[in-house]
Chain A
Amino acid sequence: MITFYLIIAALLFGIGVLGILVRRNVLVMLMCLELMLNAVNLTLVAFSRLHANLEGQIFVLFVMCVAAAEVVVGLAIIVNLFRNFYTVDVDIANGLKN
C-alpha cells in the first residue's frame, strides 16, 4: 500500500527536479518547485498514516503554509522580473555575473 504512494511521490519529485533543471521559464520552474514540495508532502502523509502518527500531517500543514508564502514572494519577483526584462527566461537575469 505504502509503496504505491511512495512511487507516486517519487515520480512527482522526479518530474519537479527535471522541470527545474530543464525549463528556462521561471513560472514553470516555480510550479515544478511546488510539485517537489507536494511530493514530499505526499510521503509525509503516507508515512504518518503508516505509523499512525499525526505529527507528519501537522508538518505537512506547515509546509503548505510555507509554500503559500513562497509562492507569494516568488510570484512578486517574477512579476518584477517581467516588468524589467519583458521576459520570464531566468538566464536573461544574469546581472550579478560581472
Chain B
Amino acid sequence: MLLSNEHTLLAIPLLPLIGFALSFIIGQKSGKQLSGIIATSCVLLSFLLSCSLFAALLTENSKLQNRLAEIPEFTNKLNLAFSVLLGDWFVVGAVRTSFELLFDNLSAVMTLVITGVGCLIHVYSIGYMKADAGRPRFFAYLNLFVFFMLLLVLSNNLLLLFVGWEGVGLCSYLLIGFWFKDPNNAKAGQKAFIVNRIGDAAFLLGIFLIVTQVGVLDFASIAESVQVINPRLIEIIALFLLIGAIGKSAQMPLHIWLPDAMAGPTPVSALIHAATMVTAGVYLIARMSFLYVLAPQVELLIAVLGTLTALFAATIALTQNDIKKVLAYSTISQLGFMFMALGVGAFSVAIYHVVTHAFGKACLFLSAGSVICACRHEQDMRKLDCGLWKKMPETFVAYLMAALAIAGFPLTAGFFSKDAILWSVFSSKTLVSEFLIFDVLLTKILFGVALFTAFLTAVYLLRSVVLIFGKPDAGAKVQLATISPATDSSEFSVVRWSRTANLTMLVPILVLGFLSLGFGLVAGSWLMEFLQAENLAIEKSFEILSSTVAVVGIALTAVVYFYYRSWVEQLLNIKLFSRAHKILLNKWYVDELYDLVIVRPLSLLSNICKFIDKFVIDGLIQLGAALVNLAGETLRELQTGKISFYLVSLFVANLTLLVLIFILKLP
C-alpha cells in the first residue's frame, strides 16, 4: 500500500471525468477533432495507470505470498488490495458511508477491461464519428460513461457503486438517444432508462435492507457480518440485488431494452451495450458472492434464469436480419451464460466470460459498425450480399475471429470461458440441497439447454458472418428476394471507404479480434488463477464434447449458408417452421405482451385518471369559480361610481336601521 499507488488509483477514474469536462468545453469552442483526441488520451492514460497499478498489485501480492509461505501453519490464501479513502460521504447514526476506492483482484480485472476496451473503442470512434457534428458531445458522454463505470467497479461500498450504476444508466440513455432528432432513437433511450429503473428500484431496496440489517455498506464489513443476518432476509436481499442485476444485464423479464438500445451509434453499442455496462449486473453478483453463497434458492433462480435467457435470446438471434439486432440478442444470450455461471457458484468463471465476451463482442460490433458505415448505413444483412469480404478483408478477418471466439471454436478465448461455464454447470452438485435427484436432474437439464444454446450461438454467429461478408456465387442455388437494388452504388461506397483507409477504425478492430482469438490460450488459465477460481479440472472428454458441438454448429451453418441456402428457404415453406420463424422474428412477442399487460392497462388507467381530473376535480373548482363570477356580475351593477347614488343608499340604509331599531324594536 504505497502512497503513489493511492494516487494512481485515484487518477484512474478521475482522468475520464476530466476528459469529459475538457472535451465538452474545448470541443465546443475550437476544433471538433480535438475533443476525440482529448477523450481518447484520457482513457488511454487511465488504461496505462491501471496497468501500472495492476503490476504493482501483482508484485505486492507475490511478495506477500512469499512471506506467507515461510509460515507453515498458514495455508489460507491472502490477497492484497489497494484502497484510497477520500473522506466521509455522510454519516447518519451508525451508518457511515465513505468515498473509498478499492482495487482488488476482481476490480483490477474489470478496470483493465473497461479502460482497455474503452480506449480501443474511443480510438475507433474518432474514425467512426468523423463526419458527425455532435462529436464533442459524443466523446464527452463516452468519457463520462467510462468514469461512472470505473466508479462502479472501483467503489468499495454499495452506495458508491450505486452512484456509478445510475451514472452508467444515464450515459446509456444519453448515448442511445445520441441522434435524438429521430424520435425512435429518443424513445429507445427512454425505454432503456425506464426498464432499468425497475431493476434499480429493487437494487435500492436491497441496499436499504442491508443497511437495516448490518448498518454498514462496504463490502468487507458486509461480508464479515453477513452471518448474523436472518437467512430468510439474506435470500430477500439477494433477490432484490438480483433484480437490479437483471435490469442492468438485460436478463429475461427485463431484457427488452437492450435490442432497442442499438439505436445509438455503433461504438456505443460496442462499449456500453456489449462490453462493459451490461456486465455490471454480473460484476455486482460476483462482488456480492459471499451473500449468494448463503442463498442457494436464489442461486438456483439465477442459474435457471440465465439458462432460459441464453436459449431464448439465441433462438431470436437465429432469425433476425438486422446486424446489430443479431449482435444484441447474442449479447443477451452470452450474458445468460454468465448468469448461468453465477448461478452455479462459479463467480470467477463468469468474470472470465465477461472478459472474453468483452473482447469478442466489442470486435463484432465495431466490425459491424465499419460495415454499416461502408454500406451507407444499411443494417439489413440480406442486402449486404455483395462479397464484402473481398472489399473489406481486414474487417472480415476480425469479424470472423471474434465470431469464432464467441461461437466457441476450439482454443479461442470464448471457447475456454464457455467451456468453463458449461463444465461448472455440468459438475455443480448442490444447488438446493433437499432433493438430490431433483438437483442432479435439474443440473443436467440446465447443462443440456446450455449445450444446445452453445450450438445455436455457433449457428447464428456464422449465419451473420456468411450473410454479411459472403458472396452469393454460383454455388448459391437461390438468391434472396430482397437483394438491394442499389448494389452498384454501395459497391462504389465500399471502395471509397476502404481507400480512406481508416486506420483508427481498423486497428482497434484487429486488436480486439486477435485478443478474442488468443487471449484464452495466452492468459486464460493465469486469469482464472488470479481470480482465485474454484479449481476447475475440466475433463478432456468434456472439452472434446463442447468443441465438437461448436465446430459442428459452425461447419453446418457455413456449409448450408454458403452452398445450400435454398434449403433454408424450403425449410421455411414447411408450415411448422414458418410459424416458428415468424414467432422468433417477432422476438417471441415479448414486447407485444408487455404492451398488452403493462402499457395498455397503465395508459387506460391514466386516461381514466385524466378524465376524472379534468371533469370531476377540475369541474368542482370551475363550478365554484363560476358561482363567484355570477355573483360578481350581478353585484357590480350596484357600483355605479356616482357619489350621489352612494349617499342616497347610505341615507336609506341608515333610515332603515333606525326604523328597525327604534320603531320595530329589533334587538
Chain A residues within 8 Å of B, Cβ to Cβ: 17, 20-21, 24, 90-91, 93-98
Quick check: A21 and B651 within 8 Å, CB to CB? yes
Chain A residues whose CB sits within 8 angstroms of the CB of B651 once the complex forms: 17, 21
Pick out which of these stretches binds chain A: B491-499, B538-546, B609-617, B635-643. B635-643
Complex interface: chain B residues within 8 A of A96 (CB): 641
Interface residues of B in 384-437 (CB under 8 A from A): none
**Count the A-B residue pairs with Cβ separation under 8 angstroms: how many?**
24
Looking at the assembled complex, report how far the CB atom of A77 sits from the nearest CB atom of chain B, in whole angstroms. Answer: 12
Q: How far is the CA of A93 from the CA of B651 in the complex (A)?
A: 21
Q: How far is the CA of A17 from the CA of B655 in the complex (A)?
A: 12
In the assembled complex, 15 residue pairs joining A and B whose CB atoms fall closer than 8 Å, in A order, are A20-B647, A21-B648, A21-B651, A90-B642, A90-B643, A90-B644, A91-B642, A94-B640, A94-B641, A94-B642, A95-B641, A96-B641, A97-B639, A97-B642, A98-B641
What residue in chain A is nearest B655 (Cβ atoms)? Answer: A17
| Chain B residue nearest to A98 in the complex (CB) | B641
The 7 A-B residue pairs with the shortest CB-CB distance, nearest first, are A97-B641, A94-B641, A90-B643, A91-B642, A96-B641, A94-B642, A20-B647
11 extra A-B contacts, CB within 8 A, seeds A21-B648, A90-B642, A91-B643: A20-B647, A90-B643, A90-B644, A91-B642, A94-B642, A95-B641, A96-B641, A97-B639, A97-B640, A97-B642, A98-B641
B639's closest neighbor in chain A, by CB?
Answer: A97
Total number of B residues with any Cβ neighbor in A under 8 Å: 9
Q: Is the CB of A21 within 8 A of B644?
A: yes
Interface residues in chain B, defined as those with a beta carbon under 8 Å from any beta carbon in chain A: 639-644, 647-648, 651
Residue of A nearest to B643 (CB): A90
Check if A93 sits within 8 Å of B643, measured CB to CB: yes
A50 CB, nearest partner CB in chain B, Å: 21
Choose one: B639, B641, B644; the contact of A24 (CB below 8 Å). Answer: B644
Q: Which residue of B lies closest to A97 (CB)?
A: B641
Contacts of A98 in B (CB 8 A): 641
Chain B residues whose C-beta falls within 8 Å of the C-beta of A97 in the assembled complex: 639-642
CA distance A85 to B651 in the complex (A): 27
Give every chain A residue within 8 A of B647 (Cβ-Cβ).
Answer: 20-21
Separation of A57 and B642 alpha carbons in the complex (Å): 37
The docked-state distance in angstroms from the alpha carbon of A98 to that of B640 is 9
Give chain B nearest CB distance to A30 CB in angstroms. Answer: 12
B639, B644, B647 — most chain A CB neighbours (10 Å): B644
Q: How far is the CA of A21 from the CA of B642 in the complex (A)?
A: 12
Which residues of chain A have C-beta atoms less than 8 A from B643's C-beta? 90-91, 93
B632: min CB distance to chain A, Å: 14
CA distance A25 to B644 in the complex (A): 10
| Complex CA–CA separation, A93 to B648 (angstroms) | 17
Which residues does chain B contribute within 8 Å of A20, judged by CB atoms? 647
A24 to B645, CA, bound (A): 11
> Nearest residue in A to B645 (C-beta to C-beta)?
A91
Give the distance to chain B from A91, nearest Cβ to Cβ, in Å: 5
Residues of A within 8 A of B641 (CB): 94-98
CB distance from B69 to the nearest CB of A (A): 101
A17 to B642, CA, bound (A): 17
Report the minimum CB–CB distance from A90 to chain B (whole Å): 4
User: How far apart sit A74 and B651, CA to CA, in the bound complex (Å)?
Assistant: 20
Complex CA–CA separation, A90 to B643 (angstroms): 6
In angstroms, Cα B639 to Cα A95, docked, is 11
Residue of B whose beta carbon sits closest to that of A91: B642
Contacts of B639 in A (CB 8 A): 97
Query: In the complex, A96 Cα to B636 Cα: how many Å?
Result: 12
Write the nearest CB–CB distance from B423 to chain A, whole angstroms.
Answer: 92
Contacts of A93 in B (CB 8 A): 643
Q: Determine the distance from Cα of A97 to Cα of B639 in the docked complex, in whole angstroms.
A: 6
Give Cα A90 to B647, complex, Å. Answer: 11
Contacts of A24 in B (CB 8 A): 644
Which residue of A has the minimal Cβ distance to B646? A90
Chain A residue with the shortest CB-CB distance to B648: A21
How many whole Å from A21's CB to the nearest CB in chain B?
Answer: 6
CA of A6 to CA of B640, assembled, Å: 36
Closest to A90 in B: B643
Which of these, A17, A91, A95, contacts B644 with CB under 8 Å?
Answer: A91
* Min distance, Cβ B402 to any Cβ of chain A, angstroms: 82
CA distance A91 to B641 in the complex (A): 8
B659 to A: closest C-beta gap in Å:
15
CB proximity of A38 to chain B, nearest CB, Å: 19
Q: Which residue from chain A places its CB closest to the CB of B640 in the assembled complex?
A: A97
A96 to B644, CA, bound (A): 14
Chain B residues near A90: list those with CB within 8 A: 642-644
Alpha-carbon distance between A62 and B639 when the two chains are bound, in angstroms: 34
CA gap between A77 and B644 in the complex, in Å? 17
Q: Complex: how many Å from CA A13 to CA B640?
A: 27
Complex-state Cα separation, A20 to B646, whole angstroms: 11
Min CB distance, A70 to chain B, in Å? 16
Complex CA distance for A96 and B640, rounded to whole angstroms: 9
> Closest approach, in angstroms, between the C-beta of B297 and any C-beta of chain A?
79
- What are the residues of chain B within 8 A of A94 when measuring CB–CB? 640-642
Q: Roughly how many angstroms separate A91 CA and B646 CA in the complex, as a whole number?
A: 11
Q: Quote the shortest CB–CB distance from A24 to chain B (angstroms).
A: 7
Q: How far is the CB of A23 from chain B (nearest CB, A)?
A: 9
Nearest-neighbour CB distance to chain B for A94, whole angstroms, equals 3
A95 to B641, CA, bound (A): 7
How far in angstroms is the closest Cβ of chain A from B646? Answer: 10
Measured CB to CB, the nearest residue on chain A to B642 is A91
Closest to A23 in B: B644
- What separation, in Å, do the CA atoms of A97 and B643 have in the docked complex? 11
**B460 to nearest A CB, angstroms?**
80
Closest-CB distance, A54 to chain B (whole angstroms): 28
Beta-carbon nearest neighbor of B641 in chain A: A97
Query: In the complex, which residue of chain A has the Cβ closest to the Cβ of B652?
Result: A21
- For the complex, what is the distance from the CA of A15 to the CA of B644, rounded to whole Å? 16
A97–B314 Cα gap in the complex (Å)?
81
List of A residues within 8 angstroms of B648 by Cβ: 21
Expressed in whole angstroms, the minimum distance between the Cβ of B142 and any Cβ of chain A is 64
List of B residues within 8 angstroms of A91 by Cβ: 642-644
Residues of B within 8 Å of A17, CB to CB, are 651
Measured between C-beta atoms, what is the minimum distance from A15 to chain B in Å? 14
A88 to chain B, nearest CB (A): 12
Tell me the bound Cα distance from A98 to B643 in angstroms.
14
Among A94, A95, A98, max chain B CB count under 10 A is at A94
Cα A97 to Cα B641 in complex, Å, equals 4
Measured in the bound complex, the distance between the Cα atoms of B638 and A97 in whole Å is: 10
